Every structure is written in structure tokens, then in C-alpha cells.
Structure 1
């Protein structure tokens, strides 16, 4: 099945600590008809209705390049994890290279992690912590307490847009620019449980897990849409319980989309290329839970 373009579901609930190490390492270091109507809504419609349809406009656009930034604040320390890559909104497939922050001494102790984003699964290479260089780690996103909105170190671009399906309140702030493109700025709050109900099949279970796993299912956001109703930039502010002690950890996740229509090719790893051993946990732990020794990569 070489070159297959669709994800296979599955892995076990204990997989949360695998992806959680991405954020943990950072903490240690410091289909769509009616497009014309939607375009009109993007220009002058009700903000809640506009935002509910933003993910559909991305599917109509087909694909784009993406940049991500995840700011994690805990115990007076703030770090930023950055990613860059491409995403196919029709196939729900993406590829990001995620760069972890430098360590306190100012040197980078981590190689960039390659992430493949698929419906229901996250694949990571250069995961570290004993994983061979030529092997991938696979995690079922629905088994993660945050649905992989946080623990991968980058929010899946389509999942970020689908969070907006849960918009309950929103206001139109005004016109501005994002990377030289004229956009309309909206500010509001989305409910993850509602977003899960209205999401695509590939994100439904993951967003439902996030609604249960975060400290609150209410997600404040700022969204910037172009005149075609497409998300150009969205910033979510998530909050989850700190498994290492009292209080919560604040995470601000920003997704920037550009170069719509760009070619995207994502080749998923063969079964033999997926690591099936135990993975030692790095410093930190998963959002909403404590650090664990490791996890079994087998089914």
C-alpha cells in the first residue's frame, strides 16, 4: 500500500503521553455548495454565521501553506513552538515541520519533528526518547485528552478552523491586513462540544475529547477571514489542568494560512516504518495529566 493518501485509524488510549512530549519538551526548555452566498456572508453577514462556515470555505479552496505558533505559559515560564508546512483540506492531510524552543542555555537540544496530520491520527518522526531515526510514532488523536489541539505542538489547521463551527458569540472588529491580504477581524468564543457535533467525521471524536479534556470547553478566539470567507489567521486560547500541580496551563495557538491552491503531497509511512516499542517520556507530561514513563506503540 505504498503511497497511500488516507490515514488508518487506531492506536490505544495510552498514546497520549507520546504526543504530549512535544509540548512537554517545550515546557522543560523554558465540501461545499453555495460558495457565492458564503462570500457575501463573509463581507457583510452575521459574524456567528460567517464563522460557522469558515471551515467549508477552506475545503472549497482545496489546500494551502501553513505556519503555526504555540505559546505555552506555565509557572511564570513562556515558550513558543513553531511549525511550517502544507495542508490539503479536501483530503484532510497535512505535513508540518515543528521546531521546539531552545533550552535555557540558549542552545537547541531538539531536532525538528516532522508531523503528518491525518483524519484520526498523528504521525511523528524525530520524536526522540529512544525512537530510531528511521521510525515514525503514530497516535490516535481521539485518545488524547485535548484531541491533539495542543499536545502535538501545533494545531491541525483544519481542526483549528472547525473549532469555529462551535462559535456561540462573536463580534466584527473591523478591517485589517494579514501578510498583505485584506481581511475582516472577528473576535468571539467557541464551544468545543458544539464544534464536535458539527465537525467533519475526521475531527468529530478528537474535538469531543478536547471538550472533555480541557479545563473549559469555552475557547476564546480571534479569526481573520479574507473576502472569500477563508481563514487567513486564527488564534485560539486554550486552558487545561496542570497535571503536575494546582492551577491551569494557558496555551495560545495561532494558525496562519496562505498560498491557497498549493500542491500538497503527503505519503503516509508503511506499517514496518512505525515504531512499535516503548517510548520514554521526556520532561513535562501531557496536558491534563501527569508525566508517564512511557507508552507502548503497539495496537
Structure 2
């Protein structure tokens, strides 16, 4: 398990070696438009032109109004012909921009479990906390990672995309297509697809997420992020799938597909940050070790 110092620069490190080895790393793969306005040059195939874009860009606001939700995540990485999936589950409070999830790494052969024990992650404004992360860190201690040091803004670093950041990224949505209605978990939803621009999203994101997206703008091969979004009748995000691309120093680069599902809106989600004495202060292994 490796935490890299992003302040020295460099490409985002490869996920496959990490996920199939000791566990996660703090580098898993190691124009603007207003939230309600239409992006210049937008192409919408469906005839719901303005409404489609507004629905997608406003999903973050709908989540904040909802207050909280239960969360399921899946992060699929592909590099050099190898594909692994990291899964998480927990809860998130959109009013405080914080959540806690249990993250399960794939086994040695890329299966589910059987490798590193599950990691507990706390997502908080400006920080990622990880417990039971290996690399010589005592099992009862937390590792704190400053998100400002991460080249991807923690969109994929911890194996989980922060649900609020995933929604705020959609503020830069363009080329939005309405795909029709269907059901997710028995709930009627509207399906949209398109591409969002990280830089455009950062320009209009809420203050608490803006710095994260500005960091992410520098960490990917392209600022364009294809997505599929499913919104319920109140505009709340029920599922979002976003596809990221890295140079990664490998032929063809590396890709990450991050999927976040939200349900049980309003469920109580209490997130308690680790005490200072519970945070590991020792040396953490480097990517080369």
C-alpha cells in the first residue's frame, strides 16, 4: 500500500499493481457554464435540449437539498490488459461534504476479497482518512491524506469517488442526450448521457469542491469526462458513471470507470473524524518500495 507525495509532480501511478498487491494507494492510478445555463456549442439529440442540460448540471444542488444518502461505489481500472474492480459501501452527508465507506479490494487474481482486508475510508472537506490500509501502518491507526497534494483531486485516488464531487463534476456537462426513462431499484429515473468538462465544472462548482476539481483538471489525459447519469423525479442523482483517462506511462494509457449509486435519501449518516492521536505519523512506503 503506497501513499505518494503529489507535490513532486509526475503521472498518476498505476492501479493494477497496487490493487492486486498490498492494497490501495493515495494514487489509485497513479470555458465555463453556469449550473443552470446552457453550455456553448451544446449538442442534444433528444429534443429536451435545455432541460436535459439543466437537469444534469443541477443534480449536485438536489443532493444537498436531500441532505444525506446511503452509497454504493465501484471503481473499475484497466491498464495493460488487466482489469480490476474496487467496491465500497457506506453513507454520505451532502450538507457537511463528508462520508464514511467500507472499501473492498480485489483478491490477488483480481477476484473480490481474499487479498487485503477491507479499508475504512472517511471522506471530508480537504482530506481523505484511511484505516487498515497496510504498508506498515498499525491496524488501529488512520492515515490522513491532504487532497490538495493529489494530482486527481481524489476523484479516483482512494478507490472511491466522493459522491458530491462526482455530482459537482456534472456542472460542466455538455453534449447531453436524454436516453429515456427506466427503473433503478424500483424507482423511476431519467437516463442522460454526455460529456462533462473538468475545467468548466471547476469554474462554477461550489466553494467547498472547487479546489478539488481544479486539482483534478491537471491530473488527467483529457479534461473531457464521458458520463451516464440517472436522476429521479426530484432531480436527485441515483446513479452516475464517469470515465477517466490517464497517460500512466503505458501504451494506450489507463482508464478508470467510476460508478456511484445513491439510495435511502435522508438516512442518518454520522461521520466522526479521527482524533489527532489516532492518526499515523510515521513514514509511509513509497511507490518504488
Shorter-chain TM range is 0.7 to 0.9
2:175 is matched with: 169
1:131 to 121, 127, 137: 137
2:257 to 252, 261, 269: 252
2-side partners of 1:58 and 1:237: how far apart? 21
2:86 to 56, 60, 81: 81
Displaced runs of 4 or more, over 2 A: 12-17, 19-25
Q: In structure 2, do the counterparts of structure 1 residues 102 and 91 end up closer, same or farther at CA, with 3 Å as the change threshold?
A: same
Listed as ranges, the gaps of 5+ residues in structure 2 are 23-47
1-side partners of 2:196 and 2:85: how far apart? 23
Q: In structure 2, do the counterparts of structure 1 residues 258 and 15 end up closer, same or farther at CA, with 3 Å as the change threshold?
A: farther
What number of residue pairs does the alignment pair up?
258
1:26 is matched with: 19
Q: In structure 2, do the counterparts of structure 1 residues 14 and 276 end up closer, same or farther at CA, with 3 Å as the change threshold?
A: farther
Q: How far has the Cα of 1:197 moved from its partner?
A: 1.4
> If the length of structure 1 is used for normalisation, what is the TM-score?
0.81
Instruction: Write out aligned runs for 1:180-195 (5 A).
Output: 180-195=186-201
2:125 is matched with: 119
1:33 is matched with: none
> If the length of structure 2 is used for normalisation, what is the TM-score?
0.83
Q: How far has the Cα of 1:246 moved from its partner?
A: 3.7
- 2:96 equivalent to 1:91: yes
Q: How far has the Cα of 1:247 moved from its partner?
A: 3.1
- The answer to whether the 8 A contact 1:20-1:151 is kept is no
Listed as ranges, the gaps of 5+ residues in structure 1 are 1-11, 30-43, 282-290, 294-299
1:8 is matched with: none
2-side partners of 1:14 and 1:212: how far apart? 12
Query: What do residues 98-151 of structure 1 show as CA deviations (whole Å, max 9, x unaligned)?
Result: 000011286712010100001111000011010011111111112111111111
Name the structure where helix makes up a greater proportion of residues.
1
